[in-house]
Amino acid sequence: MEGYRVKRTRQRQRAKAPIRLTGVLFALAANLLLTTGADIVVRRLQVSLDYEIIATLVAPFIAGLLSALYARQRGAMHAFIGGMLSVPILAIYVFALNWQLAVFAGAFCGLGGAMTEILLRRRIPAK
């Protein structure tokens, strides 16, 4: 019985696609571009703080969604890694050392990727 369990675990490990660098870089670039663009628009319009928070959460979520669509397999991991890599850059250059907003932007990028992957996942019938 132990041999069956080891064989089954190896089959599951082989079934996972590797994380591609292009998918992670796409998530990083999309999160930086969309979050920076949303922040610039909000600052130019000089609207209240509520809109800045919405832009901080919606733009990264869309970046995660696009990253998962780009990566196709393991989109949530690509979006999460790219989103977390963007945190220091966003904190320093976009949010003026406001690390909380940068961490939220990175986390919502991963959340967008996870939601997209769940919605796009095909149901595989059990054997």
**pTM for this structure?**
0.80
pLDDT at 111: 95
Task: Tell me, rounded to whole angstroms, the distance of Cα 108 from its chain centroid.
Answer: 7
Residues in the chain: 127
What's at 64, amino acid-wise?
G
Of the candidates 51, 12, 13, 32, the one whose C-alpha atom is nearest the C-alpha of residue 92 is 32
Domain positions in the chain: 20-120
* pLDDT, tens only, 15-74: 778 888 999 999 999 999 999 999 998 888 888 777 878 778 999 999 999 999 999 888
Helices 99-120 & 49-71, crossing angle to 10 degrees? 40
How would you label 50-69 residue by residue, b for 16+ Cβ within 10 Å and e otherwise?
eebeebbbebbbbbbbbbbe
* pLDDT, tens only, 68-116: 999 988 889 999 999 999 999 999 999 889 899 999 999 999 999 999 9
